[in-house]
């Protein structure tokens, strides 16, 4: 019933409830803060405050000084180790995104603060900070939707129990309520959004739907197939050597002199506090970020990835990919995403997407316009390039070392060509992208035929998360990279995912704060703190 609780919060925030006191102001802090890539913390706060002023008739104007004070109150720009106001929102960890959302609520001085699953994306230290911050609030009512039992035990004085489409108020601390009502435990400890997502009875479901929605969903990952030149699971498919990475505009590097080697059979959990550089390390390994000489402050080092390596990457803040697809069905979403045989999400990577200026440059006479081929010659990786203004059959073969000295967009074209070749090698051109094939694939991720035909907006949070994982795995990847995958999965789905990760024939690398999950999946820890990576020998599957 998590989606219904979220709907209730949304209605309360809009005061769309009969009898709601008209003079009571509300601030609703949702799961995630989303923004354009280049928006700074200060600019986002200003923009959001102005937008709320237009949307909420009870909202009052918030001055720049009030916004600054609120950002300082939640920890921004407070010295070493804290983000400053000019840092890009896209570069914030989950914990700091939550603080940014809280700062906006602080600046508004709302009477009621509503928090929807506030501990998602937070490490232990961030949760501890949030607990103390909530306790420090005066003259503010805090309404929390959460499945985090320890967190609620420390913060909740009264309980509203949502069950069987009714609300029961209990004037007692959560710890006492939890002890007295063990029958409510399943609903509390389940997922952020897990459950059935509707009022359909299992007695009317097909056998396949019942199998898909069993207590512990079974994930079945596709076999990745062979990888050129890789004969053993201990052979590396990704290597970082002496890599330091600093985001543009940041005052310090997010990753410092990192040297890691990821074999095909890797089983890795990247752990560490919020803002330590975990997601940055993961993104560099899977080409969501690239080292671009001269484009950022202290970026250096070397990154090597097997050119035919297919990667399934599900980001920490991936739910926004579905925001424009809410009226689409799960089947339609996958067919649209892979409509031309290549994953549109992969082609939209920053590392592969051309800017407007780069698109204009490739049309100029003599400039590289396209990549049409790839081969290995005497141990060198070479790409076949066409140039604007030349006949199409007149091409040049250039080694990667030469391409790296060309304008940056040429390497992006090479990355796009690599994605196309990976899709072909993964069978995208021979795997039928039709309704029955996609339904069979989704069933392997606990999404039955009934759910396949429903709009995505009717799916629970757990079902949407399984859809994202299923979609990422359509191309039969060799490497599965997950950033905080348990945030929207119920405990049963987490158990199913952990078992599937153990059995997966490819490599696994996960960023997670959920120790129980990555231990159940048999993942070995790489620890990241203040940009420094510490790792043991990477364990591989026999």
Three-class DSSP labels, 54-106: HHCCCCCCCCHHHHHHHHHHCCCCCCCCCCCCCCEHHHCCHHHHHHHHHHHHH
- Sheet strands side by side (includes 267-271): 311-314, 479-483, 507-511, 267-271, 524-529, 532-534
Same CATH fold, 356-425 and 2-146? no
SS3 153: helix
CATH match for 2-146 among 3.40.50.300, 3.40.190.10, 1.20.1560.10, 3.40.50.920: 3.40.50.300
Q: Write down the pLDDT at residue 7.
A: 72
d(CA 375, CA 79): 50
Residue listed under structure tokens 């809009």: 14
Helices marked H in 371-407 — which ranges? 400-403
Q: Cβ distance 62 to 107 under 8 Å?
A: yes
Token representation of residue 167:
């609300």
Note the pLDDT of residue 463: 83
Q: Are 194 and 492 in contact (CB under 8 A)?
A: yes
Q: Which two tokens stand for residue 289?
A: 């970020």
pLDDT of 194 reads 31
* pLDDT, tens digit only, all 542 positions of the chain: 455 676 777 788 777 788 888 888 888 887 566 665 578 888 988 888 888 777 776 667 888 888 888 888 888 876 666 788 888 887 787 778 888 888 888 887 888 888 888 887 676 777 888 888 888 888 889 999 887 888 888 999 999 888 777 888 899 998 888 888 766 644 443 332 333 333 333 444 454 554 445 445 678 999 988 888 888 999 999 999 999 998 877 778 899 999 999 999 999 999 998 888 998 999 999 988 877 644 445 688 999 999 889 999 988 767 667 777 888 999 999 998 887 667 777 666 655 678 888 999 999 999 999 999 998 888 788 999 999 999 888 999 999 889 988 998 998 898 888 877 777 766 665 567 889 999 999 999 989 888 898 898 888 777 888 899 999 999 899 999 998 887 767 667 788 899 999 999 999 999 988 888 888 999 999 999 999 999 886 444 44
Rounded to 5°, angle at Cα 439 from 435 and 442: 140
**Domain ranges (residues) in the chain:** 2-146, 236-329+443-448+455-534, 356-425
Q: Quote the pLDDT of residue 202.
A: 40
d(CA 246, CA 87): 12
Q: Which DSSP category does 233 fall into?
A: T
Would you tell me which CATH number, out of the four given (3.40.1380.20, 3.60.15.10, 2.40.50.40, 3.10.105.10), belongs to the domain 356-425? 2.40.50.40
What is the CATH topology of the domain spanning 236-329+443-448+455-534?
A: Rossmann fold (3.40.50)
- Token pair of 61 as six digits: 């104007």
**Element holding 387 (H helix, E strand):** strand 380-387
Inter-axis angle of helices 124-136 and 94-108, nearest 10: 10
């Amino acid at each position: 019933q998590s989606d219904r609780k979220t709907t209730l919060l949304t209605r309360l925030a809009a005061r769309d409830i009969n009898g709601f006191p008209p003079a009571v102001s509300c601030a609703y802090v949702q799961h995630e803060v989303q923004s354009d890539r280049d928006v700074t913390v200060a600019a986002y706060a200003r923009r959001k405050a102005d937008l709320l002023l237009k949307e909420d008739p009870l909202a009052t104007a918030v001055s720049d000084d009030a916004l600054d004070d609120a950002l300082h109150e939640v920890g921004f720009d407070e010295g070493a180790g804290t983000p400053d106001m000019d840092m890009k929102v896209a570069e914030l960890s989950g914990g700091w995104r939550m603080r940014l959302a809280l700062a906006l609520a602080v600046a508004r001085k709302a009477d009621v603060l509503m928090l929807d699953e506030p501990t998602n994306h937070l490490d232990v230290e961030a949760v501890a900070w949030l607990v103390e911050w909530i306790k420090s609030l005066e003259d503010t009512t805090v309404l929390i939707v959460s499945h985090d039992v320890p967190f609620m035990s420390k913060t909740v004085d009264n309980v509203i129990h949502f069950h069987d489409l009714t609300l029961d108020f209990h004037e007692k601390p959560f710890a006492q309520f939890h002890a007295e009502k063990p029958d409510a435990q399943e609903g509390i400890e389940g997922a952020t959004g897990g459950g059935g997502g509707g009022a359909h009875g299992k007695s009317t479901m097909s056998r396949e739907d019942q199998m898909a929605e069993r207590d512990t969903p079974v994930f079945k990952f596709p076999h990745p197939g062979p990888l050129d030149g890789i004969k053993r699971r201990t052979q590396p498919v990704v290597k970082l050597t002496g890599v330091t990475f600093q985001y543009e505009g940041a005052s310090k590097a997010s990753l410092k002199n990192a040297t890691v080697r990821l074999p095909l059979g890797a089983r890795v959990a990247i752990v560490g506090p919020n803002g330590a550089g975990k997601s940055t390390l993961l993104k560099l390994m899977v080409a969501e970020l690239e080292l671009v000489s001269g484009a950022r402050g202290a970026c250096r080092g070397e990154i090597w990835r097997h050119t035919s390596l297919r990667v399934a990457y599900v980001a920490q803040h991936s739910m926004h990919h579905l925001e424009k697809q809410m009226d689409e069905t799960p089947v339609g979403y996958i067919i649209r995403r892979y409509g031309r045989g290549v994953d549109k999400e992969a082609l939209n990577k920053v590392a592969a997407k051309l800017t407007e200026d780069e698109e204009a440059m490739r049309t100029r006479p003599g400039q590289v316009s396209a990549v049409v081929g790839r081969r290995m010659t005497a141990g060198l990786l070479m790409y076949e390039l066409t140039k604007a203004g030349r006949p199409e059959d007149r091409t040049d073969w250039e080694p990667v070392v030469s391409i790296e000295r060309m304008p940056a967009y040429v390497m992006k074209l090479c990355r796009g060509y690599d994605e196309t070749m990976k899709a072909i090698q993964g069978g995208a051109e021979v795997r039928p992208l039709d309704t029955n094939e996609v339904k069979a694939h989704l069933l392997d991720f606990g999404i039955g035929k009934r759910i396949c035909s429903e709009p995505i907006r009717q799916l629970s949070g757990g079902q949407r998360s399984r859809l994202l994982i299923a979609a990422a795995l359509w191309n039969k990847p060799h490497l599965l990279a997950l950033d905080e995958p348990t945030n929207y999965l119920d405990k049963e789905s987490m158990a199913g995912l952990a078992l599937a990760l153990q059995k997966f024939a490819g490599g696994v690398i996960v960023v997670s704060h959920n120790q129980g999950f990555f231990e159940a999946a048999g993942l070995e820890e790489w620890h990241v703190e203040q940009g420094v990576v510490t790792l043991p020998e990477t364990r591989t599957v026999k």
